[in-house]
Structure 1
């Protein structure tokens, strides 16, 4: 009988202990869950802030690149056209009517060409709108400016011109990636031929830029993720869950392929 009483007392003690400890465990669990949820929220908030900061930086860099293109175009193209117009007009001899008419006609043609170039510059000033018109048009605009340099043999296959879907944030980053790649080619590659291909397949946007320049050792670049602006390129690719494929051989040129889930 005493054994039964002892067992009952032990069971009651255990049940009481469990009953008392359950709220403690429950409180600890709630605190842990709340802390985890708060940390998760802060982490998401920090990620969003970093993304917005990076997007702002990308916009600034795109605008800066735009301003550089405009400055170069004004100096090298429009400025020369207007200077040539001035020289032509100053050389007109009104006593020779036939030659004067030809020079006036030539001057008018130069002025019309200058106006056309200025209209193109006005479009470039609205870089954000260009992206809103689609990544295909943005790529086409960059190709046009590269073509005006006259330094490269270009082979272009841009299948994104008529793309009906857009993703403004991704489009802006993809445009900036293309600008960085082109800048690297101009500064470092010593290339004469450039090939640019872009298309959309199975909800993946593909952009490939290849050139026949001096090339480099890609393993060193991949391990360091630095040099030639590639650190920035890798970082932005990760932002939009993309993938970069880099192939290069010293003396045989370089190709960079970008694959981005789209839209």
Structure 2
């Protein structure tokens, strides 16, 4: 009898303990869940803020690059055209009507070229509009300005016109990536030949740039912390879940292949 009483007491004690512990663990679980959920929300908000800050920085950099292009074109191209127009007009001798007519005609041609160049520059004043017209058109604009320099033999395959899908945020980053790659080539590669290939397949956008410059050692640049431009490129690629493969050999050039889920 006493044994049964003891067993009952033990069962009551165990039951009471379980009854008390279950709500305790339930409360602890709920608190842990709420804390993790709150941290997850804060993490998502932080990531969103970082992404928006990066997008703003990218937009500013695209606009800065645009302003540099405009300044260069105004000085090197439009400025020269207008200077030639002034020289031509000042050299007109009204006493020689035949030569005067030819010089006036030449001046009008120079003015028309200047107007055309200014119209092209006006388009660049709206960097966002370039992206709104599609990444294919934005890339074409960048390649056109590179072509005008006459410093490189270019081979271009741009198959990104008239895409049925679009992603303005990714387009802006892709445009900036191309600008950074081109700037690195101009500043460091000492190349004479550039090949650019861009196309879309299987919900992925591909951008490939190859040049025949002096090449470099990425590991060496990373150790010396001189490859900050490349670090920026990798950072932006990661931000849009893309992949980048870089191959470079000394005196044999560099190739960059980028894959971006799109849109």
Would you call these one fold, judging by a TM-score over 0.5? Answer: yes
Q: CA RMSD, aligned part only? A: 1.3
What is the CA-CA distance between 1:126 and the residue it aligns to?
Answer: 1.2
1:128 is matched with 128
* Secondary structure in 1 matching 2:258: strand
2:93 is matched with 93
Structure 1 runs of 4+ off > 6 angstroms? 222-225
What is the CA-CA distance between 1:218 and the residue it aligns to?
Answer: 3.3
Q: Is the 8 A contact 1:134 1:165 kept in 2?
A: no
Kindly indicate whether residue 245 of structure 2 is the aligned counterpart of residue 245 of structure 1: yes
What is the CA-CA distance between 1:163 and the residue it aligns to?
Answer: 1.7
Shifted more, 177-186 versus 223-232: the winner is 223-232
Count of residue correspondences: 263
CA distance in 1, matches of 2:208, 2:221: 18
1:195 is matched with 195
CA distance in 2, matches of 1:201, 1:172: 20
1:54 is matched with 54
What is the CA-CA distance between 1:62 and the residue it aligns to?
Answer: 0.2
Alignment of 1:93-242 (within 5 A): 93-221=93-221, 227=227, 229-242=229-242
2:8 is matched with 8
Q: Is the 8 A contact 1:184 1:228 kept in 2?
A: no
The runs of 5 or more residues in structure 2 that have no matched partner are none
Give a deviation string over 1:91-121, Cα, whole Å, max 9, x none: 0000000000000000000000000000000
The runs of 5 or more residues in structure 1 that have no matched partner are none
Q: Is the 8 A contact 2:218 2:227 kept in 1?
A: no
* Secondary structure in 2 matching 1:102: helix
* Secondary structure in 2 matching 1:208: strand
2:81 is matched with 81
Give a deviation string over 1:128-166, Cα, whole Å, max 9, x none: 011011110010000000001110000000011222211
Q: Is the 8 A contact 1:153 1:192 kept in 2?
A: yes
What is the CA-CA distance between 1:260 and the residue it aligns to?
Answer: 0.3
TM-score when scaled to structure 2?
0.97
TM-score when scaled to structure 1?
0.97
CA distance in 1, matches of 2:27, 2:237: 43
CA distance in 2, matches of 1:51, 1:121: 30
* Secondary structure in 1 matching 2:162: coil
